[in-house]
Structure 1
């Protein structure tokens, strides 16, 4: 039996496909997150491979624009549905969301001429505003449909390790049959081998959604933004370019000095990103135990969170 609102408030329904591909109405209890591996709203082969909802980043305005293709409780079509087994993946009380962008590390900083964080989102290093926007969506799924704000115990592996099933991240068919909560395409069995959404920070998305639900925050798709956090949200790796001037840079500078990673040659222009910032941040990454290309001096979401740059 289906209950609750069937379309996310404020979402576009201009690209609904249930008139062509009517699915099974059910009461969803889990949500599968995908990434589109593209930068624009897909047409999903006319709806033949569409999820329930696509979330398209509006980076300039720091919003995720929602496009609903099927009612929230209707089985969608973004998973391989093996008719030879008793458990049908698309019809196992699953709600499906596609996040426009990529989880492929080849696209961490650029995608041809496009720049991560400016022209598209590389979801394993998504800026905090994007994670909080997705949190609003899954908080709505929780309040309207009771989808638990919990994660699969299986690992959220980085792509391409998340592809296939050789690294233990994919559920068994029996696990999938009874699963409730949030998982990725990489976790779904029964003919599904895709590795999206990689190692995106779904733990933070769930955490933020719990804050919205428990704190009475706005999870209904309106324009109200969550309260400013105590620490500066991660602005994305591509934000850190030579010559960038910002009070965030100055606050980061002060924190790097405070944690003993001062590699600056001058105290002038402390609010401008330059070689001293990169060298000092690299020292911070190495202090955290990162090596090789993971300690390249370009901030990432985990090291940034641990630095605790005060909100400015």
Structure 2
């Protein structure tokens, strides 16, 4: 299963999860557009910390939070919701076309940008004029959820609205905010090109990328090991976080038991087969990386 939380991104979980409808996987490209500037009157970019705080803790911001806030100037990324939950960044009229939920995933990305923003004395007209730092990582994570690397309604090329409800319903890929039914925004205007190469697929099982199953007896309470810490991180990444604390995460405790049993249930095991300790089948599925 792909990672619910983008590897390497800050996790600022705002809760309020809700399922998507299923169907074609989508990603939505937004820009924050916090200020109206012009070539004659550029304005300083709004600080990243302001937007992080707005979406992460302000009630109005949380009610419209995307999955991800991305700073293309520094590469900072913060994620507010897991990939498999809907967010609320799109207008979605009651009884109308589903927008925030219209796919197996509908991953919404807000790029910290507005036209004619100024950073360190330099002015940027288009998002594609910025360094677009870590775009390749962000793209690869979105693609891991089955989102096609294509623009079904055409790659954004200016602040122009173009909407087709039928294409929206049936096609997988990236859509600009300006291309989503029921929405009247014209962003993002422009968006970086998809990377020509993506991360290679995981090597074959014999390539020793992941920890081999150490045997059920190894998982004794109180055992201290870096493997336990990496298991902890993977359980969180796949949405089975039942931990009350991250302290001493390299020591097996009750949080590991609860989280791993949640993962075993997620793998369709029931009854005694879903209880601690781990078995080889679920351990291999968890893919705990080697150090």
TM-score calculated relative to the size of structure 1: 0.52
1:116–1:122 CA contact under 8 A, matched in 2: no
Cα distance, 1:99–1:118 mapped onto 2, change above 3 Å: farther
Q: Residue 113 of structure 2 aligns with which residue?
A: 101
Q: Residue 126 of structure 2 aligns with which residue?
A: 123
Superposed displacement of residue 52, structure 1: 0.6
Q: Distance in 2 between matches of 1:145 and 1:215?
A: 14
Aligned pairs for 1:184-223 within 5 A? 184-189=176-181, 191-198=182-189, 200-202=190-192, 204=193, 206=194, 208=195, 210-213=196-199
Q: Distance in 1 between matches of 2:201 and 2:31?
A: 29
Deviation digits for residues 206-247 of structure 1 (CA, Å, limit 9, x no counterpart): 1x1x3134699xxxxxxxxxxxxxxxxxxxxxxxxxxxxxxx
Q: Residue 54 of structure 1 aligns with which residue?
A: 69
1:83 has 2:94 as partner: yes
Cα distance, 1:10–1:122 mapped onto 2, change above 3 Å: farther
- Which segments of 5 or more consecutive residues in structure 2 lack a partner in the other structure? 35-45, 203-291
Deviation digits for residues 165-219 of structure 1 (CA, Å, limit 9, x no counterpart): 4xxx22x222211121112101111x20101100x243x2x1x1x3134699xxx
Quick check: which one's helix share is greater?
1
Superposed displacement of residue 82, structure 1: 1.5
Superposed displacement of residue 99, structure 1: 0.2
Local SS of the residue matching 2:11: coil
Task: Give RMSD over aligned pairs.
Answer: 2.6
1:17 has 2:14 as partner: yes
- Which segments of 5 or more consecutive residues in structure 1 lack a partner in the other structure? 217-312
1:152 has 2:152 as partner: yes
Cα distance, 1:141–1:117 mapped onto 2, change above 3 Å: farther
Superposed displacement of residue 46, structure 1: 3.8
Deviation digits for residues 73-129 of structure 1 (CA, Å, limit 9, x no counterpart): 1111100011122x3100012110000011x3xx2xxx4xxx2575785434423x4
Cα distance, 1:195–1:26 mapped onto 2, change above 3 Å: same
